[in-house]
Structure 1
């Protein structure tokens, strides 16, 4: 499998993780990626782990973290969260 196709799987997984959450995205994409080989499956797994670093809705853990932050009367703007996510995720 080409690097371009692996990047495509990873990008699709990152987007889907932000649309429907990372765990359902894995359940949807891994069976579709598996026939393409282990490279595609690993790309999906990377995408669903990197994607949630960009929006609040990307993972249940982030949603729970946000709830706790609000409970303690703090606020983290989506822009700040996304910028920090972009800075801390590897650009691969």
Structure 2
């Protein structure tokens, strides 16, 4: 099953990033081992872009779309949680670009 889940996650993130071109990247952990531990963060390039997205409701739209795609592909429900959001600028500044330590 983990290969199927890995493909679902990869396709979902690809589709979300293609739909919302404001996004710079995405980071995920846990999807292939245990869906209930799945975690995704969509990344904006700057803090300013992240703040603007929050103010305009874009973060909620991205979150809703991400969850919709997972459900459509029958990803396990216990793995469908709210996305988190961050900026590459903040990760670079605080953790020298290392997302593992950023979220640890």
Normalising to structure 1: TM-score of the pair?
Answer: 0.36
Q: Higher helix proportion, which one?
A: 1
Larger Rg: 1
Decide which structure has greater strand share: 2
TM-score (norm 2): 0.34
